[in-house]
Amino acid sequence: MDTAYLLDWANLLLRWAHVITAIAWIGSSFYFVFLDSSLTKPEDPELVKKGVDGELWAVHGGGFYHPQKYLVAPRQMPENLHWFYWEAYSTWLTGFGLFTVLYLFNAGTFLVDKSVYDWSAGAAIGASLGFLVVCWGVYDIICRVFGRRKNGDLIVGACIFAFVVLASWLACQLFAGRAAFLLVGAMLATTMSANVFFWIIPGQRKVVAQLKAGQPVDPVHGWRAKQRSVHNTYFTLPVLIAMLSNHYGWLYAGKHNWLVLVLLMLAGALIRHSFVARHKAGVQGRRAPWEHAVIGTVLVLGVAIWLAPPPSSAGAIAAAGKPVNFAEVKSVIEQRCVLCHNAQLQNKGVALHTPELLKQHAQAVYQQAVVLKLMPMNNATQITEDERALVKRWFEAGAPAN
């Protein structure tokens, strides 16, 4: 069976599993951040006596729920204790598998854009893996050094933001734009999973061990876990926009693509902060700080205006009124697309070397080359905007093949 076909199936199944596990992880993360921010001090003396520090009454699915949080840990360890970690591990494992199948196995096509940086596929693979490792190391050092200082949260936040900006710029100087955006998202996602693996779960295991041994519970484990969990929730929306961006070529194809990525991730973090702060404000009876979400939304709108295509030139307007010459369209496709879509090489099962095949795949050509601007990959064949406009006119005229 064809290897490319098998890789496509692996891509599909890994992507499916990755989305499912990511939904489970992000959903539980959002819920527990909401829960922590919405708890109120218990009024029942029995709950206070048990060591409960916060409680919440909620209704969902026809039932009432009463979650309670202990200040450090319950006095006695319950027999049935649910651990939240496989959601995080499964998300990272499926994501790395997908990255391997799509990007590492096709590094020469997906990671390397010789117009950006001319290096070998092997070097690009090594550097991409290095990004994942170095990001976690730098982030962890920042948290260790500044996390417990006065105004530590602000210092840590500023340092992390500066590092992410630097990493985004560097990734866009080394890798194809599509890969650079995804790689920045992957390095933040790796940091999130590493937080769970190296800090959150080990800290909770130590608390459980101390309880079972009848020893006093060290509150530092809970503090560290809470710190990393809060960081994870702020990383979530930036990671999602970085991961989704690879479907929209006009986001990463520009000269200042690194700045586009930074602004979109910053917008996501600001919007997420608005919701986190809103939960706390509701409990404390304060005004919800919607200004952060407003600033994030303005940033997104600003990027949209910045990236908007320029008005059509007089020549383009004049050309738009002329009948479409299929010979011109065929010439563009032969120069820019047939190299990878022909009788011998049919990437994604698409061949465009005959008029009949071009008409058959007209909608896919229009979507990929005109609307999304994903093709040609990394614009390796240097298709121009005028040529994309010609394909657009041809498709909108009914994709005539003569």
Q: Tell whether 43 is covered by a domain.
A: no
Give the C-alpha separation, 197 to 199, whole Å: 6
- Checking if the pLDDT of 386 tops 90, the result is no
Domain extent at residue 363:
314-396
If asked whether residues 146 and 174 sit together in one domain, one would say: yes
Q: Tell whether 229 is covered by a domain.
A: yes
Last residue of a domain, one of 286, 307, 328: 307
Q: How many domains does the chain have?
A: 2
If asked whether residues 271 and 332 sit together in one domain, one would say: no
- Computed over every residue of the chain, the mean pLDDT equals 89
Mean pLDDT of 368-385: 85
Give the C-alpha separation, 261 to 257, whole Å: 6
If asked whether residues 19 and 117 sit together in one domain, one would say: yes
What percent of the chain has pLDDT above 70?
A: 96
If asked whether residues 30 and 140 sit together in one domain, one would say: yes
pLDDT class for 6, splitting at 50, 70, 90?
A: confident
Last residue of a domain, one of 262, 278, 307: 307
Give the C-alpha separation, 269 to 27, whole Å: 17
Mean pLDDT of 154-175: 96
pLDDT at 316: 61
Give the C-alpha separation, 316 to 184, whole Å: 37
SS (H, E, C) the chain: CCHHHHHHHHHHHHHHHHHHHHHHHHHHHHHHHHHHHHCECCCCHHHHHHCEEEECCEEECCEEECCEEECCCCCCCCCCCCCCCHHHHHHHHHHHHHHHHHHHCCHHHHCCCCCCCCCCHHHHHHHHHHHHHHHHHHHHHHHHHHCCCCCHHHHHHHHHHHHHHHHHHHHHHHCCHHHHHHHHHHHHHHHHHHHHHHHHHHHHHHHHHHHHCCCCCCCHHHHHHHHHHHHHHHHHHHHHHHHHHHHCHHHHCCCCHHHHHHHHHHHHHHHHHHHHHHHHHHHHCCCCCCHHHHHHHHHHHHHHHHHCCCCCCHHHHHHHCCCCCHHHHHHHHHHHCCCCECCCCEHHHCCCCCHHHHHHCHHHHHHHHHHCCCCCHHHCCCCCHHHHHHHHHHHHCCCCCC
If asked whether residues 290 and 322 sit together in one domain, one would say: no
pLDDT at 130: 96
Last residue of a domain, one of 288, 307, 326: 307
Amino acid at site 243: M
54 neighbors 38 (Cβ within 8 angstroms): no
192 neighbors 235 (Cβ within 8 angstroms): yes
User: How much is the CA Rg of the chain, to the nearest whole Å?
Assistant: 26
pTM of the model: 0.85
Mean pLDDT of 161-169: 97
If asked whether residues 262 and 324 sit together in one domain, one would say: no
If asked whether residues 138 and 222 sit together in one domain, one would say: yes
132 neighbors 119 (Cβ within 8 angstroms): no
Model confidence pLDDT, tens digit, residues 273-323: 998 888 776 666 677 778 999 999 999 999 999 999 877 666 666 666 677
The tokens describing 20, both together, are: 């499912």
- Checking if the pLDDT of 79 tops 90, the result is no
Give the C-alpha separation, 330 to 333, whole Å: 5
Residue 92 burial (CB count, 10 A): 23
Q: Tell whether 95 is covered by a domain.
A: yes
Q: 386, 371, 373, 384: which is closest to 316 by C-alpha?
A: 386
Rounded to the nearest 5°, which phi and psi values hold at 60? -160, 135
Q: 56, 79, 83: which is closest to 67 by C-alpha?
A: 56
pLDDT at 215: 85
Amino acid at site 132: L
Q: 172, 184, 211: which is closest to 78 by C-alpha?
A: 211
If asked whether residues 284 and 382 sit together in one domain, one would say: no
If asked whether residues 17 and 123 sit together in one domain, one would say: yes
If asked whether residues 271 and 321 sit together in one domain, one would say: no
pLDDT class for 59, splitting at 50, 70, 90?
A: very high
The tokens describing 261, both together, are: 């990525």
